[in-house]
Amino acid sequence: MTMIVEVKNLKKKYKKEWVLKGVEFSIPKPQIVALVGPNGSGKTTLLNCMTNLLAINSGTIKLLGKDYTDPSIFYDISYLQDNRVLYGNLTAYDHLKFVCGVQKQPDTKIMEVAERIGMTSYLNKRVQNFSLGMKQHLLLALAIINDPKLLLLDEPLNGLDPTSAINLRKVLLELHKEGTSMIVSSHNLDEIDRLTNTIFFMKDGQILQESLRDYTMKEYYLTVNDVEKAKRVLREHEINFHMTEEGQIVFQDKEVSAQQVILHLNGQDVFIEDLEVNRIGAEKRYLELFEGNVSS
């Protein structure tokens, strides 16, 4: 099987500062990979190097089994950059028609992609009149119009409202099911948790490749009919918990399952009136790695 991505000892510096210090990673099979790190950690630099927009100082990059400088690979990969690549005087349709020509795709793909993204209502409007979210929709449409085997996305959720973010996630997961591999650079750790368990943390110019399965927990918020009795029951069973200001009981599933807790409570006539679940994954690991980069 052809390796999707293979990067070895990649180094890149700006003037005298090394940004990428021997980056190495591989993606052996179709999957979604998250690229996470603080601003300035080198995420965009890495993506620009991989797509030959920046010259590298040393190292090797192979995409879909070919050298990253091979022009033919750009029929099979796409790169969603920020909206500075868009032209205000052109319409969304103009942008898509141009890319169809470059990618040797029929014009019928324009409406197909616009409907998939949900941007048919402003397809013929000039980009200079677009909101930030509308620009993100257009960037994604441009990136998928060639049905890429590998899709690189730099902050695809930037400027999207919750509904648009949900729809974008749906599109990305559909593309993955269709066989598209992705590297998604994003600060939205909650969405990362919903997209993938595989994450590349950018730190000190290198990549730490990990699975979120090793760090993911669930946090449960219980509303019960008798708070004081519930607290006594949990203490008797040595279950760690804390209380919210609203009187909810909070515990994690690291040491005990939610089913066990509920059985303990129900056995003492304490009944659950409401149950909320919060998944803790990428954010937990991010805080462990970059505590000094998080503003209070």
pLDDT tens across 104-121, in order?
A: 999 999 999 999 999 999
Amino acid, res. 295: S
Q: What is the pLDDT of residues 134-159, one digit of tens each?
A: 999 999 999 999 999 999 999 888 87
Q: Residue 167 has what pLDDT?
A: 85
Say which residue, 214 or 243, is predicted with more confidence.
243
Q: Residue 296 has what pLDDT?
A: 35
Q: Flag whether pLDDT at 293 surpasses 60.
A: no
> 133 is written with which tokens?
């979210």
Cβ atoms of 160 and 130 within 8 Å: the answer is: no
Amino acid, res. 143: A
Q: Flag whether pLDDT at 292 surpasses 60.
A: no
What is the share, in percent, of the chain residues with pLDDT greater than 70?
94
Q: Residue 246 has what pLDDT?
A: 87
What is the phi-psi region of residue 92: left when phi exceeds 0, alpha when psi lies from -120 to 50, beta otherwise? alpha
List the end-to-end C-alpha distance of the chain, in Å, as a whole number: 46
**């616009």: which residue's tokens?**
114
Q: What's the pLDDT band for 286 if we cut at 50, 70, 90? A: confident
- The alpha helices in the chain, defined as continuous H runs, are 43-50, 92-102, 108-117, 132-144, 162-177, 189-195, 227-236, 258-267, 282-290
Q: What is the pLDDT of residues 208-226, one digit of tens each?
A: 876 666 666 678 899 999 9
- 198 forms bridges with which residues in the sheet? 211
Q: Flag whether pLDDT at 295 surpasses 50.
A: no
105 contacts: CB under 8 Å, gap ≥ 6: 99, 145, 146
Sheet holding 17-27, edge to edge: 17-27, 5-14, 58-63, 66-67
What is the share, in percent, of the chain residues with pLDDT greater than 90?
62
Cβ atoms of 99 and 141 within 8 Å: the answer is: no
Q: What is the pLDDT of residues 9-57, one digit of tens each?
A: 999 999 889 999 999 999 998 999 999 988 888 999 999 999 999 999 9
